[in-house]
Amino acid sequence: MTNIWIINRYIPGVSRAIYDTLLTMSEHHKSKRQKYEEEDKELLEKVASRDVTEGLIKQKLSQHVDQVHLFLSTFLSF
């Protein structure tokens, strides 16, 4: 089984990149009124209001990686 630490060590950088991208998009969204889907608008508004933070993205990404690791561990142990 793949060492989970290999994936986990990239989570902080990936979280930062995702958050920075969303933050930039939210700033452009406010100033230029670009057209986004409703779901995307909601996310960008949450980023702009700091309801979604880099820490939250990191936490959710870590949880997802752990869930996938657990699933694969269980699935591949048969």
What are 15-30's pLDDT values in tens digits?
999 999 999 999 887 6
Whether the CB-CB separation of 57 and 19 falls below 8 Å is answered with yes
pLDDT given for residue 74 in this prediction? 86
Query: Mapping DSSP to helix (H, G, I), strand (E, B) and coil, where does residue 3 land?
Result: coil
pLDDT given for residue 57 in this prediction? 98
Higher per-residue pLDDT: 10 or 3: 10
